[in-house]
Amino acid sequence: MVTTLSKAKYFQVKTVKNISKSVWILSVVSLFTDAASEMLYPIMPIYLKTIGFSIVLIGILEGFAEALTGLSKGYFGELSDGSGKRVPFLQVRLLD
């Protein structure tokens, strides 16, 4: 027997008070690690230039890093979904 959910029940959004403490902690830690890494993006090319890297090499390095990041997100997301074990992936993600 197939049951259908009402639209209200299907699209029900969890309220803030229903979110667990561990999800809140993970969210806050992720926010701060993302903010810290984003603050380095404008500084890194300047630093690399002061230690002697050419503009072309800086562009190649930044392009390679962004391409590697973009391609690895899909791969590791699929690996995480397939394995069913997300905790190790979250732990490694918070180390970067």
Both structure tokens of 77: 């997301």
Please determine, for residue 8, whether its predicted confidence score (pLDDT) is greater than 70: no
* Cβ 90 vs Cβ 26: under 8 Å: yes
pLDDT digits (tens, 9 = 90+) for 17-64: 777 888 888 889 889 988 998 898 889 999 999 999 999 999 999 999
Give the H/E segment covering residue 92.
helix 87-95
The tokens 């803030």 sit on which residue? 16
pLDDT digits (tens, 9 = 90+) for 53-94: 999 999 999 999 989 988 888 888 888 788 877 777 777 766
Provide the 8-state DSSP code for 51: T
Query: pTM surpassing 0.85?
Result: no
Both structure tokens of 84: 């069913």
